[in-house]
Amino acid sequence: MFPLNLANLVWLIAPLAIWSYFWKFLGLWFSARKNEKAWFIVFVFINLIGILEVYYLHSRGCWPFKRK
């Protein structure tokens, strides 16, 4: 087991934050473009590490989940 210090936490939290903000940006972008205010508000106030955003993008067929 590794010791719990700040350097180890940064290596754990930084990739998780990048992942989360990437999906949050996409969710906010597409919900705003499609004028879906309820989804936009949910994305702004609820942070689930990108899970909700991925669901939204997949269910709406947005990039990178475009339907063929």
Following DSSP, what letter does each residue of the chain receive, concatenated?
Answer: -----HHHHHHHHHHHHHHHHHHHHHHHHHHHHTT-HHHHHHHHH--STTHHHHHHHHHHT-TTS---
Q: What is the pLDDT of residue 2?
A: 61
pLDDT tens-digit map of 22-67: 999 999 999 999 999 999 999 999 988 889 998 998 888 887 877 6
Q: What's the burial of 6, exposed, middle or buried (CB within 10 Å: 0-12/13-18/19+)?
A: exposed
Domain limits, the chain? 9-60
Residues in the chain: 68
pTM of the model: 0.80
